Structure 1
Amino acid sequence: EFTEEEKTTGLWWKQLAAGGMAGAVSRTGTAPLDRMKVFMQVHSSKSNKISLVGGFKQMLKEGGVTSLWRGNGVNVLKIAPETAIKFMAYEQYKKLLSSEPGKVKTHERFMAGSLAGATAQTAIYPMEVMKTRLTLRKTGQYSGMFDCAKKILKREGVKAFYKGYIPNILGIIPYAGIDLAVYESLKNVWLSKYAKDTANPGVLVLLGCGTISSTCGQLASYPLALIRTRMQAQASMEGSEQLPMGRMVKNVLEKEGFFGLYRGILPNFMKVIPAVSISYVVYEYTRSGLGIQK
């Protein structure tokens, strides 16, 4: 969230650029773990258990070292439009929802954040579907992003670009709510215990709060993320039945039990700390390079 000074001086675009660069480097650095997460979400089951080491061996055997970065190109490309739409939508929703001009309450901020996230996801969702398809592709299946889009459009039509959209949007609400609530609670607990004279906990404390709150949010919304990924991927898998959301959930619970909804969560959690750390370092260096004062 930007201050009024940042908006009027034009510093906001530099902040966005620094954030975009941090996101791109962070996603690229943790892409192998992200691909492993998607691979396990879609292919791992009770009858076909895939371990972390076994999964990486499979991917390396099928496509070599570079295959670990499949889907990363579109994942990095979607940062700019997603961030820009989210930022602009957030500002507009805050104005619409605030009961007092210039003052935004916590619940209004949460609602604005959730709606902004949903708006951004709706706009860039076709790129999410392409990311999943490209991440799971076999060697030679697609020559690139445009070839992937063309083949999906030709074989499945426009609606294929919105497969898994409902669980995706439903997942934003618990994720955003828990993330915000845990973050604010942890920050306030730290301030009440250790900081008597300042309202600024410091960067490392905020990073720690952010990592824990993000992990809690992911834990709550992960089953919906798994259902979304399977729905996005099912048309590209040979002999796979096209299941709607309700039947997909029922199918997973019947065949794999409750923990089947958490397939791939280990690599997902493994990438949280490196992703946050890389983001922070790159963000600080980019800010410094763009001349933004601390």
Structure 2
Amino acid sequence: PGTPRQQRWGLLFDELDSNKDGRVDIHELRLGLARLGARTPDSAGQDILQEGDIDQDGGLTLEEFTRYLQEHERRLLLMFHSLDRNQDGHIDASEIQQSFQALGVSISLQQAEKILHSMDRDGTMTIDWQEWRDHFLLQPLENMEDVLKFWKHSTVLDIGECLTVPDEFSEQEKLSGMWWKQLVAGAVAGAVSRTGTAPLDRLKVFMQVHASKTNQLNVLGGLRSMVQEGGIRSLWRGNGINVLKIAPESAIKFMAYEQIKWAIRGQQETLRVQERFVAGSLAGATAQTIIYPMEVLKTRLTLRQTGQYKGLLDCARQILEQEGPRAFYKGYLPNVLGIIPYAGIDLAVYETLKNRWLQQDSHHSADPGILILLACGTISSTCGQIASYPLALVRTRMQAQGTTNGELWRAKWEPDSSLGVSEASC
């Protein structure tokens, strides 16, 4: 029969082993986790199998499963004791709050209570060892840092307007090198998303510069005009430098953010939301100041006609010769001013949506799921974009000053080509 703990593990194994062949494979493990109501990532089953499958035969025997749970419970017990700061055998909301603060994130006591509520089964508003063990037994979430990772703010939509607050990285992620892997992954994802949305980005810039009350330029008319002038490939003009500037911008923003956070924090352990906003805005302004000439080049290359420039360097040379070095910072002021409403509203909306979810829907798990994160990030990013769009329009108009192709563009889609081009040239 074994000990009560071994009997509990045996019953759990029998529940997962749906075909009763004495082995639990990845398919049974995933179905079992879903059937037991464990809200785990898709990779959870694979992680359990990879760690517990000693003979590498693609399945877990009862012995392997028992050995895995024994080691996993040992780790969970150590973590429970580290969180139980007063060593009374229970974790309360204040201890969860302190754990978050130790990881560099400030949360309210009410938020900590909502997280605790997702694990509290007996309604005592504390978590004992059994509740902690049962909650995390089949989950890859093994500490409060893993819970924290759910709510790290990141940009969901990247179409070239990178003004958002940089990602937060814990001390463990910095020491392990995970931060640069995430930056690289973000850069690759940004390059793919920007390339996919490049035609829409070019259309946006085209309409920002050329649309007016007189020509009534619309989406289809703009696309048609660009394709007629340069073919399908012209829809991706300016995308090369738009992708190229991701790496330096992300690296500068991250380094500036860490330095500014350190200066603001002083002797404090954590930064409040408003302090993160200030640090993020200053970091964004620093990055934009350094890479801003690339923004001007991107706008000019996006608006160019066939044969106007031989490439990136030729574009930079012509701007320097014809307009001087100051032309590389046209539109800089509205661009920097746009960071404040964008980052502020983006972060504020995200925090509001996050808090609303924690208050109303976190009763079963602190994991919001990918759809909730996607919705929160998309809504907050969209609100930030809307708030800063007037300044973005002014910036693009100023960046485009000096182009000489206004009349050529206008003649292709304006009903009366004799109309003035002062609106398109500004």
- TM-score above 0.5: yes
Deviation at 1:105, TM superposition (A): 1.0
- Cα offset, 1:185, TM superposition: 0.4
How far 1:202 sits from its partner (Å)?
2.1
Q: How does 1:78-157 map to 2 (within 5 A)?
A: 78-157=245-324
CA–CA distance in structure 1, aligned partners of residues 353 and 228 of structure 2: 44
How much does 1:30 deviate?
Answer: 0.3
Q: Return the offset for 1:162.
A: 0.2
**Residue of structure 2 in register with 1:280 after alignment:** none
Out of 67, 74, 90, the position equivalent to 2:234 is 67
- Partners of 1:200 and 1:166 in 2: how far apart? 40
Which residue of structure 1 aligns with residue 216 of structure 2?
49
Task: Give TM-score, length-normalised by structure 1.
Answer: 0.80
Offset from partner CA, 1:128-177 (integer Å, 9 cap, x none): 00000000000000111111011101111110000000000000000000
Amino acid at match of 2:285: A
Shift of 1:198: 3.7
Quote the Cα distance in structure 2 between the aligned partners of 1:197 and 1:8: 32
Letter in 2 for 1:20: A
Which residue number corresponds to residue 174 of structure 1?
341
Paired residue type of 1:92: Q
Q: 2:404 & 2:379 partners in 1: Cα distance?
A: 35
Deviation at 1:124, TM superposition (A): 0.4
The corresponding residue for 1:31 is 198
Match of 2:176 in 1: 9
Deviation of 1:99 (Å): 4.9
Alignment of 1:120-269 (within 5 A): 120-237=287-404
Q: In structure 2, what is the Cα distance between the partners aligned to 1:237 and 1:41?
A: 16
Distance in 2 (CA, whole Å) between partners of 1:101 and 1:7 is 19
User: Is 2:204 the counterpart of 1:40?
Assistant: no
Distance 2:270 2:364 in 1: 24
Contiguous gaps of at least 5 residues in structure 2: 1-167, 408-421
Q: Per-residue displacement from partner, 1:247-292 (whole Å, max 9, x unpaired)? A: xxxxxxxx99xxxxxxxxxxxxxxxxxxxxxxxxxxxxxxxxxxxx
Give the whole-Å Cα distance in 2 for the aligned partners of 1:102 and 1:153.
Answer: 47
Task: State the alpha-carbon separation in 1 of the partners of residues 401 and 229 from structure 2.
Answer: 20
For the residues of structure 1 that align with 2:384 and 2:266, how far apart are their CA atoms? 27
Q: Aligned partners of 1:223, 1:123: CA distance in 2, in Å? A: 23
Displacement over 3 Å in runs of 4+: 197-200, 237-240
Q: Given that residues 305 and 405 in structure 2 are in contact (C-alpha distance below 8 angstroms), is that contact kept between their aligned partners in structure 1?
A: no
SS at match of 1:30: helix
RMSD of equivalent CA atoms: 1.6
Amino acid at match of 2:219: L
- C-alpha separation in 2, matches of 1:119 and 1:92: 11
CA contact (8 A) 1:171 1:221 kept: yes
CA distance in 2, matches of 1:142, 1:19: 30
Indicate if the aligned counterparts of 1:98 and 1:105 stay in contact, CA closer than 8 A.
no
Q: Does 1:19 align with 2:186?
A: yes
CA contact (8 A) 1:95 1:101 kept: no
Instruction: Report the Cα offset of residue 238 of structure 1.
Output: 5.6
Query: What is the CA–CA distance in structure 2 between the aligned matches of 1:78 and 1:88, rounded to whole Å?
Result: 16
Question: Residue 203 of structure 1: CA displacement?
Answer: 2.1
Q: Which amino acid aligns with 1:162?
A: Y
- The one of the two structures with greater contact order (alpha-carbon pairs below 8 A, sep at least 6) is 1
